[in-house]
Amino acid sequence: MEQEMLVKTIAKVLDDKKAIDIRALRVGHLTVITDYMLIASGRNILQTKALAEDVEDKMAELGVPLRSREGQQEGRWIVLDYGTVLVHIFHPEAREYYHLEKLWSDGENEVDLGLDLDGQAK
């Protein structure tokens, strides 16, 4: 699956499951770690865990291998590594504290996901 299509597919899964503030950034020109970062929040720890599980299930159905997963136990910041796409799912307090969008944004690298700022479809 093409990278940007993978990002949009994951964003759609998150949106369907009511994730909030879904953002995607192209970061390949800023780091060798990954090409895209997809950032979203759940409303609470249970939802962050459920969102991560839903993404994993859908990607497995599509044959997209998960390289690694971190943070599932705690549920405050879950990272799913799909190689060219890192998915960060935050509890709102953790997201506010780490503010990855500010850290990785260069002002021109946000991907238009077709979602409004609350993560709901336009």
User: Please, what is the Cα angle at 80 between 102 and 32, to 5 degrees?
Assistant: 60
Instruction: Give me the chain's average pLDDT, please.
Output: 91
pLDDT in tens, 13-53: 999 999 999 999 999 999 999 999 999 999 999 999 999 99
Q: Which residues of 32-68 are buried (b: 16+ CB within 10 A; e: fewer)?
A: eebbbbbbbbbeeeebbbbbbebbbebbeeeebeeee
Domains and CATH numbers, the chain: 3-104 (3.30.460.10)
**Percent of the chain having pLDDT more than 90?**
80
Question: What's the CA gap between 19 and 86, in Å, rounded?
Answer: 16
pLDDT at residue 105, as a whole number: 87
